[in-house]
Structure 1
Amino acid sequence: MKENLVAIVGPTAVGKTELSIKLAQLFRGEVISGDSMQVYRGMDIGTAKVTKEEMDNIPHHLVDIKEPTESFSVAEFQEQAIPLISNINARGKTPFLVGGTGLYVNAVTHHFMFADSPSDPNYREELEQFVTEHGAKALHCKLEEIDPVTSRELHPNNYRRVIRALEVYKLTGKTLAEFRQEQKQQTPYNLVMIGLTMEREVLYDRINRRVDRMIEQGLLEEARSLYKSGVRNCQSVQAIGYKEVYEFLEGHVSLTEAIEMLKRNSRRYAKRQLTWFRNKADVTWFDMTNGLSQQKFQEMKDLIEGKLKEKAK
């Protein structure tokens, strides 16, 4: 019998966190974060990490499990999330996978098998040297030439994932997009995928206001503390919200310019997130432009209840 899994996906600032907690309260749920940056301790404001108060006694998993100096991969996320889903189901509760990192969510909902894709440590080292000499953007251009689909999904600063995509192509002659497509696309779960969307101008305004709040809440101080403690040239601080402030701390841009860069990069990221999830056929979409109405919430509730009853038969 398939295990239950509810996934709530969508772009940054669309309201996933608040909704997931409300639904988890109804369905005896526990939340598994599907965000690649909320795993890092001490990076709370810039990742819009859920607070203890916001959790409202709903258990949250895969948050604050890594030091900012450590790396974290989608394969490692998959290794940790899948047993968690089984554990939550075994305790008679409902796992809610919540996040906007599309590759991470897909790795769990459809068990994309990373172990099956070959690796070449020497080639990987060669590409890492290329990044050191020519920069992450130049590496991203290499990927864009051979695999435009994956290049649109990956930000140039996520150079480790870009390297992985190039490595797969070199060893198999297939793009990462093709490699994934060949794998079985059926989910192993009794899965409900709820997607949240919003009119672009409204979403962009929410993102801009969220960034302003982050600055008010102390993002600058948070990033400065990481910088002073030696957290530099790490995967964690390539995240949107930290790399822009680091540019300011290193004297490359003014604070005003850094904030504008952060808003622009967040908007672009939201656009990429929507593109990723829009291509997933099994997502049921809800427009949140006018907020979460009682009717919309009821529809989501009915959708989840219907799937859980389907399993119970």
Structure 2
Amino acid sequence: MIMQNIVAVIGPTASGKTALSVELAKRFSGEIISADSMQIYKTMDIATAKPTEEEKQGIPHHLMDFLDPCEEFSVARFCELAKNAVTDISGRGNLPIVTGGTGLYVDALLGDMQFEETEVDPVLRTSITADVEEKGVDKTLEYIRTFDPASAERLSVGRNPKRLIRCIEVYLSTGMTQTQLNEKQAGSGSAYQAIKIGLTARDREFLYERINRRVDLMMENGLLEEARRFYQQQSGDTACAAIGYKELLPYLSGELSLDICVANLKRATRRYAKRQMTWFKRDESIRWFNIDEQSFDEILSEATDMITKEFHYE
């Protein structure tokens, strides 16, 4: 089997993934496949740091800005669409570049995980949902840790209640943990020859300051009004998990001042970046670059050389 070449540019929020991906795409006739679980939604532009047309520089972007916020989305659906995009891009002689900070999406695509739907018992799901809502995320993670420590560690990154519910549901309905189910469903091997490029900062405060500046710029660009419009429409559970809206809701409802809400947004984004790094650091195949120690041009040059060498490009 001929393996398809694919590049992944990954890392925490505000690390510069979009800019590097676009420059690499310009050098290698690349097209970008977004691996961001929130940039898939239409109208959610500022909160998700969706690249503007100017930032895209004419490079085609796939799996971005195509789903209504009231619709739900899954990693299985992402893999289906992403694999189709990789085949299409490669078939036209171009290089697929997967870019984003949703580690589960990247791992599922490049690891060739196969997904099977297990039957849903609506009564059981309702019961589990009520229990999770009563206990909260932290206590629910403690419970999951008693029977599936690996999943508890993985789920602590996104802290998505819906995925916590699903993890418990799988265990109670099948007697198999989510970890065991994932192992059972794992593919026989990836169909891709992947180069994984990671962006991070050795000094965590350097990255945190970039995050703070990004939030300030988002507010200047109209994040508050975008959040207001978002809450005026019916949105699905997945879209509502987006960082950037729920932190501003207390201001929109008159409960907290705007300054406090913006500070909470910065803190939530910093915590999210920390969880992203916890996820990605487990993958020893990622080639890391520290954005606080190398200039953008130096990172671009090294990444270009690595791709040229490993994919035997002229």
Secondary structure in structure 1 of the residue aligned to 2:6: strand
Alpha-carbon spacing, 1:197–1:157, altered in 2? closer, same or farther (3 Å)? closer
Structure 2: tracts of 5 or more residues without a match: none
Superposed counterparts of 1:152-167, under 5 Å: 152-154=153-155, 158-167=160-169
Say if 2:24 and 2:30, in contact at 8 Å, map to a contact too: yes
Aligned counterparts of 1:143 and 1:222: Cα–Cα separation in 2: 36
Aligned counterparts of 2:8 and 2:136: Cα–Cα separation in 1: 35
Give the letter for the 2:199 counterpart.
L
Alpha-carbon spacing, 1:194–1:242, altered in 2? closer, same or farther (3 Å)? same
Aligned residue number for residue 269 of structure 2: 266
Aligned residue number for residue 225 of structure 1: 229
Superposed counterparts of 1:66-81, under 5 Å: 66-81=67-82
Tell me by how many angstroms 1:308 deviates. Answer: 1.8
Aligned counterparts of 2:15 and 2:146: Cα–Cα separation in 1: 32
Residue by residue, what CA displacement relative to the aligned partner does 1:61-99 show, whole Å, maximum 9, x if unpaired?
A: 111111111111111111111111011100100000000
Say if 2:8 and 2:98, in contact at 8 Å, map to a contact too: yes
Aligned counterparts of 2:268 and 2:70: Cα–Cα separation in 1: 23
Alpha-carbon spacing, 1:302–1:243, altered in 2? closer, same or farther (3 Å)? same
Give the letter for the 1:222 counterpart.
E
Aligned residue number for residue 195 of structure 1: 198
Aligned residue number for residue 42 of structure 1: 43
Aligned counterparts of 1:270 and 1:165: Cα–Cα separation in 2: 23
Aligned counterparts of 1:294 and 1:228: Cα–Cα separation in 2: 43
Aligned residue number for residue 121 of structure 1: 121
**271, 274, 278: which is aligned to 1:275?**
278
Tell me by how many angstroms 1:305 deviates. Answer: 1.4
Alpha-carbon spacing, 1:245–1:148, altered in 2? closer, same or farther (3 Å)? farther
Give the letter for the 2:231 counterpart.
Y
Aligned counterparts of 2:172 and 2:210: Cα–Cα separation in 1: 41
Tell me, yes or no, if structure 1 residue 106 matches structure 2 residue 107. yes
Aligned counterparts of 1:42 and 1:215: Cα–Cα separation in 2: 16
Tell me by how many angstroms 1:135 deviates. Answer: 4.5
TM (normalized to structure 2)?
0.90
Tell me by how many angstroms 1:243 deviates. Answer: 1.0
Aligned counterparts of 2:247 and 2:56: Cα–Cα separation in 1: 28
Aligned residue number for residue 15 of structure 2: 14
Tell me, yes or no, if structure 1 residue 246 matches structure 2 residue 249. yes
Give the letter for the 2:205 counterpart.
E
Tell me by how many angstroms 1:134 deviates. Answer: 4.8
Aligned counterparts of 1:48 and 1:91: Cα–Cα separation in 2: 29
Alpha-carbon spacing, 1:209–1:302, altered in 2? closer, same or farther (3 Å)? same
Residue by residue, what CA displacement relative to the aligned partner does 1:95-118 show, whole Å, maximum 9, x if unpaired?
A: 000000000111101112221x74
TM (normalized to structure 1)?
0.90
Say if 1:110 and 1:187, in contact at 8 Å, map to a contact too: yes
Tell me, yes or no, if structure 1 residue 304 matches structure 2 residue 297. no
Give the letter for the 2:220 counterpart.
E
Say if 1:13 and 1:203, in contact at 8 Å, map to a contact too: yes
Say if 2:36 and 2:100, in contact at 8 Å, map to a contact too: yes
Tell me by how many angstroms 1:24 deviates. Answer: 0.4
Say if 1:140 and 1:159, in contact at 8 Å, map to a contact too: no
Say if 1:190 and 1:307, in contact at 8 Å, map to a contact too: no
Identity %: 43
Say if 2:132 and 2:165, in contact at 8 Å, map to a contact too: no
Residue by residue, what CA displacement relative to the aligned partner does 1:195-245 show, whole Å, maximum 9, x if unpaired?
A: 1111201001111111111111111110001112344x6321221111111
Tell me by how many angstroms 1:119 deviates. Answer: 4.2
Aligned counterparts of 1:85 and 1:21: Cα–Cα separation in 2: 17
Say if 1:119 and 1:167, in contact at 8 Å, map to a contact too: no
Aligned counterparts of 2:180 and 2:163: Cα–Cα separation in 1: 16
Give the letter for the 2:256 counterpart.
V
Secondary structure in structure 2 of the residue aligned to 1:7: strand
Q: Which stretch of the first structure deviates more once superposed, 64-73 or 181-190?
A: 181-190
Q: Which stretch of the first structure deviates more once superposed, 22-31 or 291-300?
A: 291-300
Root mean square deviation of aligned Cα: 2.3
Tell me by how many angstroms 1:138 deviates. Answer: 4.5
Tell me by how many angstroms 1:267 deviates. Answer: 0.8
Aligned counterparts of 1:272 and 1:43: Cα–Cα separation in 2: 22
Tell me by how many angstroms 1:258 deviates. Answer: 1.3
Give the letter for the 2:200 counterpart.
T
